[in-house]
Each structure stands twice: as C-alpha cells, then as structure tokens.
Structure 1
Amino acid sequence: MTDKISKDPAAAPAGPTPSGVPYEAIKAIPVRHYGRWVSAVVVVVLLGWLVYAFSQGDVVWATVWDKVFDPSVISGMWNTIIISISSMALGLVLGIVFAVMRLSKNPVTGAVAWLYIWFFRGTPVYVQLLVWFNLSLIFHYINLGPIYKNETVDVMTPFMVALLGLGLNEGAYMAEIVRAGIQSVDEGQTEAAHALGMSSTKTMGRIVLPQAMRVIVPPTGNEFINMLKTSSLVSAVQYTELLRASSNIGNTAGAVMEMLFVASIWYLALTSVFSIGQYYLERRFARGATRNLPPTPFQRVKKNITTFKRSPEGMA
C-alpha cells in the first residue's frame, strides 16, 4: 500500500530542490507605515503649539494651583457630586417606571409615558430649571390638602429646583435607555417565567431587568458623566456647585480665567474617577455573557510592566 504524498507546502521536508539548489531563506520586509509617522508629527506639533499659546497668555498659573484646594471650591465640588447623584437616582427611578408604563398594554399609561418623554426630551434642561425656579410666580402656595401646604418660595429651594430640573429631564432619557434594555431580552424568558406561575412584577424584577442591565449600564454610565457636566447649569438657579463657587472667587479676586481652569481641573478629575467606576460596573454585569472578562486597568499596567522587564534572551 503506497503512502500518500502530502500536498501541504508546510509539511514538505526542508532541503534542496529537485534540481539540487537549496531553498532560499525568506526575507520578511516589514511594511512601512509612513502615514502613522506623519500624523504623529502633526499631532505633536499642534499640541506643542497649543501649549506654547497658553504659556504666552496672560494667565497667572500660580493662582490656579493655589485655588485648586480652596475650601469654597471643595465645598462646591461636593455639592456637584451630591446633586448629580441625587438627580441621577431620581432619573433612574423615573426611567424604570416610565419605561414599564411605555411597554404596558394599557393605552392610558402608555400615552402618559410617551407625553412625559416627549416633553422633557423636547425642551432644554436650562429652560426647565428656570421654570421650576420661577414657579412661585404662578403658584404662590403648594397645597396638597390635609397632607401638606406651604409657600412655593419656601419649598422651591435652589437644591430642590436643581433636583427637579435635572432629575425629571434625566428620567425621560433613562426611560428610553431602560426600554431598549428590556426589549433586548428575549420574549421567551418572559413566557417561561409566566409558565412557571410568576407574576408580571416578579418576572420583570427577577428575570427581565437583571438580564437587561448589560444593555442598560453602559449608556447609564455615560448619562451620569454627562450629568456631572450638565450640573454646571444649576448655577443659574443660585445653587452653589463647583462652577458657581469658582466663579464667585474669580469675580471677587479678579481671576476669572484662572478659576475657570480650576473648575475644569475638578470636572476632569470627577469624570475620570466615575469613568473608572463605570468600567468596573460594566465588567461585573458582563459576567456570564462573555467567556473571558476584559482585563482591568491595573491588570493591563501589571502586564505591561512584566513585559517590559523581560530580558531579550527570555523573549527569544
């Protein structure tokens, strides 16, 4: 029985050709990516030009570094965090409620949810803040009968105005995000839960929402980071957050631009910290959906350090 000759070139034995001439070694020539180097040089030049332009400007950088940890700025920073978290919590609760109402087969609740989303997404958040701030011009009292009654100016404090303005607006966006997450879950999951005798409420809370979180968490994290920056608008309704605290110092000390740089430094720091938290939260809800979880930033740094420490002999 004759052996079959493999036609795979990789399986061919090394050695001379049938004519007796040995094989030539393959010379691998790497591809030259000149465009990458050109773009890198252009970016470095533009960045250097930008740094040079700011260095030539009439900016007292010593004032910037001195005022970064000013007590008033720190207090405004904490107020920014408080109003952002509170508004996001209110928006998340409203988003879940109105998303469920939007998906309901009840035409009344579906219509109310649609109108809520249509109104609060269709008007600027700045206008909504001003409406709540001037609510006492048309309603002098908030009268809930025997439950509660008080003057509107006493109820609508700067914090309450900021909470309602940001929270109700965010609720409209969160309703659409939650609705998309719920609809991403296969309908067979709901049918199976109902077949087991689970009610619609338990099915939503125990089956649908936990699976929808993988779709809900990423845009929710982006919305919260956007909320941190949007919270600067509440300075218009006299809520002393980071921007207003910095502006007050800048107007008093005659260092307007310097204090705006201070506020920018803190906004960058806050968004960076919460972006890392968003990454870990997304990674947690990705368990079970992917075989291998993506490495954490610390794991990436450790891997790069280990690779850098390897000797050339070990790599060869």
Structure 2
Amino acid sequence: MPVVPLRHYGRWLAAAVLLVVLAGLVVSMITNPRFKWEIVLQYLLDDSIISGLLMTIWLTIAAMAIGIVLGTAIALMRISENPVLASVASGYLWVFRGTPLLVQLIFWFNLSALYPQITLGFPFGPSLGNFDANQYITVYVAALLGLGLNEGAYMSEIVRSGLNSVPVGQREAAEALGMSNFRVMWRIILPQAMRVIIPPTGNQLIGMLKTTSLVSVIALQELLYSAQLIYSANFQTIPLLIVASIWYLVLTTVLSIGQYFLERHFGRSDRRTAMVPSDDVTDASAQIVGSA
C-alpha cells in the first residue's frame, strides 16, 4: 500500500504565525526611532565598552577555572569514604549554595569590616604572617572570590554526577589490573565521566558570562558597569543597554559553538558504537570469548 505522509497543518500554521510576529518585531525595532541605532553603532566599539568586555572575559575564565578545580576537589571529597572530608564538603555546599551570589559578593567586598588583619598560621600556634585586608582584598579579588567559590559549589555537583555515572565495574576492573587510585581516576573514570560533565559545564560557563554583570554592585568596571557609566553621563540608557546585550549575545554564541565541538569530541565513542552493526558486535564478542 502506498505510504501517505501526514499533513501537519497545525505546525505550518503555528510557524506562519511566529514568522509574522517575528517580522513585525524586527520592523518595529528598525523603524522605532527611540532605539537610536546610530548611538548603538557609535558606542559598540567604544574604548570603555571594549575595556569592560575584556574584563568580563577575564572574570569568566578565571572564575570558571577556580570553580572547576575547586568543584572537582569538593566532588572527590563528597564521594570519599572519609567522613571528615565528606562532612566538610557538605558544609561547603550548604553555605555557598544556600546564600545568594549577590550577598556573597558584597560580603567579600566588605571582608575588612570583619577581619582588618588576615593572619595565616595555626589557631593556637605561631603565625606565618599578617596581611592588611584593605590592601589585598581588592575589588578584583572580591569578585573572583565571590564568583569562583560560588561556582565551585555548583561544579562539584556536576562533577559528582559525572563520576557516579561511570559503572562501578570499571573501577573494579582497573584495580584488578593493579592500577593506582590516581591512575584509575585519571585514565578510566574521568574520560568516561566527561560525556556527562561537559554539557552542564558548558551551560555553567555561559551562565557565568552573564553572572559577571553582578559585580557591578561592587563597582568593578566590567561590560555592564561600563555601559552604566556611559549612560549615566549622556542619559542614553536604552542604546547602551543594547550595546551590552549585543556583546553578551556574541560571546554566548562563541561559547555555544565551543561547547558543541567539545560534546562531539567526548561523545565520539558513542557514535562509533552506534555505527557498528549489532551482528558485528555479537561476532566480535563471540570471538573474544572463544579465544579466552
């Protein structure tokens, strides 16, 4: 019998409606003089905006690096059989996931009100040195502490879920071959866990890019704060916000493309498995069993 394809009239109708709405929105944005696109183009490559853009990129990379390293360490502590390490990791998550990031940023910025002098050493022993909090906890350090420590709490759960996704038999087989714990984790567990870790990590990186705008409350001149400084002087609020939004969209697009290729790289084993016919897999398994 001839196969008659289904006619999805509802889909085409919905697509047509969306296209009409989108066309109307684009025409409205172009023809509305209040958008002031000439001012947008004027400030798109302004030195102050580019300086804030570079600061945003630097904050994103540095905070994510801190978050990934710290999150990996906290995840390993969470799955450790040592109750002290597991308790410390759980307490860390309780504090940094339980309070808003904005509050943490303001707290780190005003740390000198609690500890004017930071002492390194033992609680009841000799100290290794004293440091002036106002001198060393600058606005840059406060931003990195707030963003990095907060991100470490969320990255730890991502890494832990990736590690738990690897079957226990993988570790047992590697240990049976005499591999050390570090080698098992580095060569066996982590490469397989990366397929689960990469997608949410990419989302966290994109989220971090936008979250850096919160450091404007502590007067760090990133992209949004640079735009705020300009429109507070010339009162062109909407055009400057559009400039900041355009740059955020550009950076987000670049990061999304990078995430796509990373996912392809770490998911290549799945594609290879899908390309092998099931009969070939069965024959290969039978040959292995027979040779054994």
Q: How far does residue 126 in structure 1 lie from its aligned partner after superposition?
A: 0.7
TM-score normalised by the chain length of structure 2: 0.87
Counterpart for residue 26 of structure 2: 51
* Structure 1 runs not aligned, ≥5 long: 1-8, 10-25, 295-316
Q: Report which of the two has the higher share of helix.
A: 2
The question of whether the paired residues in 2 share the 8 Å contact of 1:287 and 1:293 is answered with no
Counterpart for residue 37 of structure 1: 12
Secondary structure at the aligned position of 1:185 is classed as: coil
String of CA shifts for 1:112-171, please: whole Å, max 9, x gaps. 111111221111111110110111111111121554422111111111111110111110
Secondary structure at the aligned position of 1:150 is classed as: strand
Determine which of 40, 49, 69 is the counterpart of 1:64.
40
Q: Report 1:97-136 matches (<5 A).
A: 97-136=73-112
Q: How far does residue 40 in structure 1 lie from its aligned partner after superposition?
A: 1.8
Q: Is structure 2 residue 250 aligned with structure 1 residue 274?
A: no
Secondary structure at the aligned position of 2:118 is classed as: strand
Q: How far does residue 29 in structure 1 lie from its aligned partner after superposition?
A: 5.7
Q: Report 1:216-295 matches (<5 A).
A: 216-291=197-272
The total of aligned residue pairs comes to 269
Identity over aligned pairs, percent: 51
Once residues 50 and 137 of structure 1 are traced to their aligned partners in structure 2, the CA distance between those partners, rounded to angstroms, is 50
Once residues 191 and 173 of structure 1 are traced to their aligned partners in structure 2, the CA distance between those partners, rounded to angstroms, is 28
Q: How far does residue 267 in structure 1 lie from its aligned partner after superposition?
A: 0.2
Q: How far does residue 259 in structure 1 lie from its aligned partner after superposition?
A: 0.5
Counterpart for residue 191 of structure 2: 210
Once residues 290 and 181 of structure 1 are traced to their aligned partners in structure 2, the CA distance between those partners, rounded to angstroms, is 19
Secondary structure at the aligned position of 1:272 is classed as: helix
* Structure 2 runs not aligned, ≥5 long: 122-126, 276-292
Q: Is structure 2 residue 161 aligned with structure 1 residue 185?
A: no
Q: Write the letter of the residue equivalent to 1:103.
A: I
**RMSD over aligned Cα, in angstroms?**
1.9
Q: Which runs of 4+ in 1 moved over 6 A?
A: none
Counterpart for residue 170 of structure 1: 151
Q: Write the letter of the residue equivalent to 2:66.
A: L
Q: How far does residue 292 in structure 1 lie from its aligned partner after superposition?
A: 7.8
Determine which of 50, 57, 61 is the counterpart of 1:85.
61
TM-score normalised by the chain length of structure 1: 0.81
Once residues 159 and 135 of structure 1 are traced to their aligned partners in structure 2, the CA distance between those partners, rounded to angstroms, is 13
Secondary structure at the aligned position of 1:58 is classed as: helix
Once residues 253 and 292 of structure 1 are traced to their aligned partners in structure 2, the CA distance between those partners, rounded to angstroms, is 60
